[in-house]
């Protein structure tokens, strides 16, 4: 731009520079200005391409983590999810739901690690769930099917914690593969620990079925370890105490989760300016009084009984 200005200035004062020299220097003086204009045009093109790529990435992430309806077959739901990485919608956490003829079915999971590898594995688990969940009535076989699908995508130290849930009249049926236990909140608050712990997907899980009573007066919180591993400035993890219970007893489910996120943020020390310490997913559900007017799932014969591990305990 300076060169262009000089060229214009000399053209405006022809008596200062002889005309032959002016004609020779004019193109040279104009080159910097032309270069600046070309760079500005390329920068605008790059910016437009980045905007398009960012939009494609956002749409792809939104397709992976679909919003849940506020009512799923008589089950009220609310979700809060955020990635540990700033500007990223999807991390290692995953969740989804389908409505079967016999009732709602949910999945919540957590891939070990962060970044693109975690997103890739999350996508594989969600794809397998969406492909299989509507046609496989047995939660234990579903867990094995998801493990078979994701195993080839995992490195030696990778795994996926997973929690599957089927909601039936008056109860919820759970299969927990190494995931933090859900929290049932009513007149009192309690963790629903699995009677027989199972390793996560990728580590030869031994899923078991566990049936737990759940009334319309109670709520069930599914979460990832971003809740229980949120630490304050002294490294103390968040306790599931009266603060959590009070937050979850808000009149509306969305309000309850917003309150709980506030409790987490008040407790946790932000490790850096780029984001939070870990991915966090909170899924809160509450059955309506008329949940499931259709037939309930048949009671599995292995309810609460350890399932037999399959294959060699070593990684294939």
Per-residue pLDDT band for 277 (boundaries 50, 70, 90) equals low
Same domain, 217 and 97: yes
Is the confidence at residue 175, as pLDDT, over 90?
yes
pLDDT for 86: 53
- Sign of the dihedral through C-alpha 241, 262, 253, 176: negative
Rg (CA), the chain: 28
Query: In terms of DSSP H, where are the helices of the chain?
Result: 2-12, 19-64, 115-132, 139-151, 242-248, 253-267
**Model confidence at 201: pLDDT above 80:** yes
Ranges of beta strands (E only) in 188-308 are 189-191, 210-213, 219-223, 280-287
pTM as predicted: 0.74
Identify the CA nearest to 9 among candidates 238, 20, 22, 37: 22
pLDDT of amino acid 82: 83
Nearest-angstrom CA–CA distance, 227 and 225: 5
Claim to verify: residue 75 and residue 107 sit in the same structural domain: yes
Mean pLDDT of 276-285: 83
Residue 115 inside a domain? The answer is yes
Q: Are residues 30 and 116 in the same domain?
A: no
Region 57-79: mean pLDDT is 76
Asked whether residue 31 falls in the same domain as residue 132, the answer is: no
- pLDDT of 292 strictly over 60: no
For residue 154, pLDDT over 60 is answered with yes
What pLDDT was estimated at residue 45?
Answer: 77
In the predicted structure, residue 4 carries a pLDDT above the cut 90: no
User: Per-residue pLDDT tens for 301-313?
Assistant: 445 444 444 554 4
Q: Are residues 148 and 20 in the same domain?
A: no
Last residue of a domain, one of 25, 57, 89: 57
- With a cut of 90, say whether residue 199 has pLDDT above it: yes
Q: Domain tally for the chain? A: 2
Residue 295 covered by a domain: no
Is 301 inside a domain boundary? no
CA distance 181 to 195: 11
Q: Can you give the residue range of the structural domain that contains 258?
A: 68-287
- The answer on pLDDT for 265 being more than 80 is yes
Q: Are residues 8 and 72 in the same domain?
A: no
Q: Is residue 141 part of a domain?
A: yes
Whether 296 maps to a domain, the answer reads no
Which CATH number covers residue 195? 3.60.40.10
Are 140 and 198 in the same domain? yes
In a domain, 49, yes or no: yes
């Amino acid at each position: 731009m300076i060169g262009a200005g000089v060229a214009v200035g000399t053209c405006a004062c022809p008596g200062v520079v002889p005309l032959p020299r002016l004609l020779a220097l004019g193109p040279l003086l104009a080159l910097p200005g032309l270069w600046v204009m070309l760079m500005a045009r390329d920068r605008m093109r790059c910016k437009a391409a980045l905007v398009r790529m960012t939009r494609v990435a956002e749409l792809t992430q939104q397709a992976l983590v679909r919003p849940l309806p506020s009512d799923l077959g008589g089950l009220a739901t609310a979700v809060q999810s955020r990635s540990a990485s700033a500007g990223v919608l999807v991390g290692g956490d995953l969740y989804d739901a389908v409505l079967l003829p016999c009732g709602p079915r949910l999945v919540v999971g957590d891939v070990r690690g962060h970044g693109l590898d975690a997103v890739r594995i999350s996508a594989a688990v969600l794809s397998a769930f969406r492909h299989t969940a509507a046609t496989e009535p047995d939660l234990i076989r579903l867990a094995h099917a998801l493990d078979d699908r994701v195993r080839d995508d995992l490195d030696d130290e990778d795994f996926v914690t997973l929690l599957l849930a089927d909601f039936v009249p008056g109860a919820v049926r759970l299969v927990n593969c190494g995931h933090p236990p859900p929290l049932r909140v009513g007149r009192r608050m309690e963790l629903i620990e699995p009677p027989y712990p199972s390793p996560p997907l990728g580590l030869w899980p031994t899923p078991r079925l566990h049936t737990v009573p759940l009334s319309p007066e109670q709520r069930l919180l599914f979460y990832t370890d971003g809740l229980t591993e949120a630490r304050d400035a002294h490294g103390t993890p968040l306790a599931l105490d009266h603060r959590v219970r009070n937050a979850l007893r808000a009149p509306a489910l969305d309000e309850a989760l917003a309150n709980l996120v506030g409790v987490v943020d008040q407790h946790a020390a932000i490790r850096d300016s780029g984001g939070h310490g870990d991915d966090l997913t909170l899924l809160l559900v509450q059955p309506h009084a008329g949940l499931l007017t259709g037939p309930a799932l048949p009671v599995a014969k292995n309810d609460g009984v350890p399932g037999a591990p399959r294959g060699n305990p070593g990684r294939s």
